[in-house]
Structure 1
């Protein structure tokens, strides 16, 4: 009975959750009858019992389950009990299963899901579609957001949809009266973490955008970041770009580079883009000069804040 069991899969957790929430809305179910389980936290027996139980007031009940692959660690009796449920699901319950990747159809559990569930792959989003998605996300709550604000939000969240969603709540609360999200609001409320700041600072440094380089540096110092820590992080980013250029030369694609560095696709996109736009020799020169500066600071030849500031101004 495919219409009683839905399975959605996607490696982008935010889009997966977003799709499931939209699906739940279609059923117009009372919030009391929407239950969410995670097999990493909840015993499978308890979930199975809830699946077989009639909902409150005999209405339709929606149960969402995550990490169903954990069932494969259970004994054969438990797995068979679940397969029996898939074969004959409770007509009062709509079961929605969320997974990052499909279970192989060669496994007993995977084969049962392929046979009895309606399976849908949630398509990941192209980078060009991010701005419109964000605008529509705010539009659902009767808010508007300017193009500059969208760009600033994407830059500061590093295209992380979970983080975008969290920051959106702050922005809507801030703009409650006007219902318009501006770039000024994003800059004021959405802070970059150190890694993102260093990423932007390094990019500005390599592209010789002195104004932006110093602006980010002063902002970090104002937030009590240690200049020596900033320097070490810049060195790390320069090394990462050199490493990326070598991988590109070996024929690595963006997805392979993301896997190599264990980073998100959006982060890998900018890493590849920046690596291809800068000369390897220029990166080596920066690395040598930064290493000398690090030595001069640690040997007491120059103050760490002044030394890094002079380097950034003269680079």
Structure 2
């Protein structure tokens, strides 16, 4: 009696990197590129940024993944920001996936969690079930996990940090300002910090300590607080159209005389995250009040009362417009060399005029 040969499940060659932790995702991409270069050749690596294509994106990806026959080169193709494109483009790319040759590894890299209802995502799910694709979700650690990240990163870079110092740094960077935000995947934790800024602060502390144990005193001296109270005051000043006070508060939080250019940008991203969290919270409060569901927010009575006072300054339309403007600042901070103070000043002027 002949034995039936078992079918071997194919290894994944199509990947989705998604999530707001673009720091860890970037490290993962770098790690894979290095490993690919050692095993094959760096000449086989191609990066396609979908945002750079006005049209012809589907054709470009099709040509990139097309096998060139017997002597084809093993490829690693990284496609960035594909899920930010039009639905017909995503559908076109989805149809290409089954054509991906065996000698091609394809990574879709997104800096947000993608929507489940998109055709391209559904195709990836289908291929994942067949073992041909795999998804990685990169989330910024919060709570105890964030403390663990600080400790681990410090040790990897030859620095030791006291337990109280870890806790102090985590609090200053906004660990306790975590929010629950509704997404297409349900409610997820939203952090007001990013790991680029966190690692920058740890490296700054390690340089200062010069091999000595980093203490709580060191953290207090070198790391500026999240200043949640200042964020509240900035929001109130914006609502009352007080340009002078708003600018003064921001200048106080971004003291360029004491920081390097990299530190200034990192601090600006932290402030931006805190402002976004504040205005997002006001939108949540607005929606909850209209739906008579304040308890669903999970806020303390004090927080509700304080934010109700701020909510009186803004209409729903204004809140949504502010969120859009903050997103624009975020993109410019990460993609241009424009001074953070200039970006914030323009933001203030646009709101109060």
How many angstroms apart in 2 are the aligned matches of 1:153 and 1:201? 23
- Give 3-state SS (helix, strand or coil) of 1:144's partner: coil
- Give the structure-2-normalised TM-score: 0.47
1:188 corresponds in structure 2 to 221
TM-aligned CA distance change 1:143 to 1:53, over 3 Å? farther
TM-aligned CA distance change 1:189 to 1:74, over 3 Å? farther
Question: Shift of the alpha carbon at 1:67?
Answer: 1.9
TM-aligned CA distance change 1:118 to 1:251, over 3 Å? same
How many angstroms apart in 2 are the aligned matches of 1:34 and 1:138? 32
Q: Is the 8 A contact 1:156 1:196 kept in 2?
A: no
How many angstroms apart in 2 are the aligned matches of 1:50 and 1:189? 48
1:104 to 2:134 alignment: no
Q: Name which one, 1 or 2, has greater alpha-carbon Rg.
A: 1
- Give 3-state SS (helix, strand or coil) of 2:106's partner: strand
Q: RMSD in angstroms over aligned alpha carbons? A: 4.8
Work out which of the residue numbers 64, 67, 74 in structure 1 matches 2:81: 67
TM-aligned CA distance change 1:35 to 1:132, over 3 Å? farther
Question: Shift of the alpha carbon at 1:178?
Answer: 1.1
Deviations 1:269-313 (A, max 9, x none): xxx4xx456796xx69x99xxxxxxxxxxxxxxxxxxxxxxxxxx
- Give the structure-1-normalised TM-score: 0.52
Q: Can you give the 5+ residue segments of structure 2 that lack an aligned partner in the other structure?
A: 1-9, 128-132, 176-192, 235-248, 257-277, 311-353
Work out which of the residue numbers 99, 106, 113 in structure 2 matches 1:95: 106
Q: List aligned pairs for 1:77-156, cutoff 5 A.
A: 79-80=91-92, 82-83=93-94, 85-99=96-110, 100-105=112-117, 107-116=118-127, 117-122=133-138, 125-156=141-172
2:201 corresponds in structure 1 to 167
Q: Is the 8 A contact 2:20 2:139 kept in 1?
A: no
Question: Shift of the alpha carbon at 1:34?
Answer: 5.4
Q: How many residues align?
A: 227
How many angstroms apart in 1 are the aligned matches of 2:45 and 2:201? 26
